[in-house]
Homo-oligomer: A and B are copies of this chain.
Amino acid sequence: MSHASSPSGRLLKAPENFLSPDGVRAVFDEAKQGRRDFVRQAFAAALAGGGAAAAAAQAASDGDANILTLPEHSTGLGQPVAAEGYGKPSKYEANVQRRPSPGLTQTTQASVSFAPLQSLFGIVTPSGLHFERHHQGWWDIDPSKHRLMVNGSDASLLKKPLVFTMDELMRLPSVSRFHFIECGANTGMEWGNVAVPTCQYTHGMLSCSEFTGVPLRVLFDLAGVDYKRARYVLAEGADGSSMTRTVPMELVESGEVLVAYGQNGEMLRPEQGYPLRLVVPGVQGVSWVKYLRRLEVGDQPYATKDEAVHYIDLMPGGLHRQYSSTQECKSVVTTPSGGQVLLDKGYYQISGLAWSGRGKVKRVDVTTDGGRNWRTARLQDPVMSKCLTRFTLDWQWDGKPAIVQSRAMDETGYVQPTTRQLRAVRGTRSIYHNNAIQSWLVEESGEVRNVQLS
C-alpha cells in the first residue's frame, strides 16, 4: 500500500544540517533546481536576520527571483472562513481513507471498510475514518421519525413498556465516555496463515470515540424493570438485517451500557447507526446495535442468529463457544507496520495501540528482536477503561532485519498471548476473537511486512 502523498504514512530520512557550509551550497543548488521551495526562502530570511519581510526585501533587492520568490501562500489572500461549512481534510491526505477488502465479502452492503490505523495518531479515531461493518448496508434515518421501545418478553418483567422519541431521550441525563469498539472478527484472517499486508487490514476493524448517551439503566428504571428476574436484554436494530443481540443485565446495572446518540462531540454518523446505537464497552462491536429501535428485557439469553450461528468460536474437537463477547487484552504496533518503509538507519519512535475489554491497560512491552528481549513502553495519558491507549518506545534501528512485536497486559493481570499460545487453547478453525501478538518484520531494505511466527 502506497502512502506517497501524505506524511502520516511514511518514515523518511533523518534530519540534516542544511546550514553547515556544505549544506548552504546544497540548499542553494537544490533551490535553483526547484526542489526545496520553502528552504530557499527560510534560508534567505536567516541571512537577512529573520522574517518574511526581510526575505521579501532581499528578494526584491538582489533580483534573483528564481531563488527568492515567496510562494503564493505567503503573499496572496487565502480561502475565506466557512460560511455555514463543514470542514474536510487536506487534499494531500486523500490517501488516508477507510478501505474495503475486495473479495472478502459477497456484497458491499454486508461488508467491512477498515480504518487506516497506520496513519492515525493518539487515541481518537476521526469519525470520517471510523471503521464500518454493515449487515445490510447503512441508512440515514430521519430522527424525527425514529423511536426506541422498551418492553419485556413477559409483561411481568417491567411495570410499563415505554416508547421514546429522540427528543425525549435527549432530555434525559446523559454522560460522555471514551471507549474503543472492535469487531469480534478483527484480525480474523491471521487465524490461518494469511498475513494480510498492512495493519489497516489486520487490525482496522478497531476505532475509538467519545460516545454520549443515556445510561440504559436510566431507561430501565423509568420502565420499572424487575432486575431480579430480568437478567438479559435483547437489543434490536431498525435496519433490514434484523440484527439482535443478547446483553447480560449486569453490564447494564454497572451503568456502562449507553443508549448513545453522540460520537466525538456531534451526532452519530449514519454508518455508525444514526440516530441511535447501543454502546456496550469492552464487548465486540456486533453487540453495539445500530439504528437501535427496541430493547426487550428477558429471563434468559435469546440465542439469536447473530449469536448462535455467527460470532461463535469454533474450538478444537468440534465444540463451539457462544456468548464469548468480551474483547480480551490486545495491542498492535502501528509504526513501523506492514507496508511502511524505513528509508535510513537511526532513530525511530515505535508507536502503537493497546486495549482491553476488561478495564485499563496496565503495561505494554515491546520487542524488536522477535521476543528475545522486551522493553516496557511509555503509556500516554489519559489511560482510560475499555479505551484505546497509545504507547511509544524509542528505537535506534541498526539497519539489520528486525521483528517488532508488542505485548499488552491489563489491570486484571491478563497478558496478551502469542499466536502459539492462543492456538494451543483455541485451535485453528476460529474467525473471531484473535488477540494474539502481531509481528512485523523490518527487512534490511527498510520495507516492513506482516510475518506469522508460529
Identify A170's interface contact among B7, B97, B382, CB under 8 A: B7
Query: How many copies of this chain does the complex contain?
Result: 2
Q: In this assembly, does A210 line the interface, its C-beta being within 8 Å of a C-beta of chain B?
A: yes
In the assembled complex, A371 has its CB within 8 A of some CB on chain B: no
A15 to B107, CA, bound (A): 40
- Flag if A129 contacts B265 (CB, 8 Å): yes
How many residues on chain A are close to B (CB under 8 Å)?
A: 144
The answer on a CB contact under 8 Å between B43 and A265 is no
Whether B138 and A78, one on each chain, are in contact in the complex, defined by CB atoms closer than 8 angstroms, is yes
Residues A42 and B264 in contact in the complex (CB < 8 Å), given A7-B275, A87-B269: no
Q: Is the CB of A38 within 8 A of B240?
A: no
A93 to B212, CA, bound (A): 16
Q: Report B-chain residues with C-beta under 8 Å of the C-beta of A46.
A: 149, 151, 161
Cβ–Cβ contact B394 & A111, under 8 A: no
Identify 9 residue pairs between A and B in the complex whose beta-carbon atoms are under 8 Å apart, listed by A's number: A8-B170, A73-B141, A79-B270, A83-B113, A90-B267, A90-B269, A96-B266, A126-B127, A171-B348
Give A155 Cβ to nearest chain B Cβ, in Å: 10
A312 to chain B, nearest CB (A): 21
Q: Tell me whether A136 and B77 are in contact in the complex, defined as CB-CB below 8 angstroms, given that A38-B147, A122-B176, A125-B265 are known contacts.
A: yes
A265 and B347 contacting across the interface, CB-CB below 8 Å: no
For residue A384, which residues in chain B have a CB less than 8 angstroms away from its CB?
Answer: 381-382
CB of A156 closer than 8 Å to a CB of B:
no
A168 lies within 8 A of B12 (CB): yes
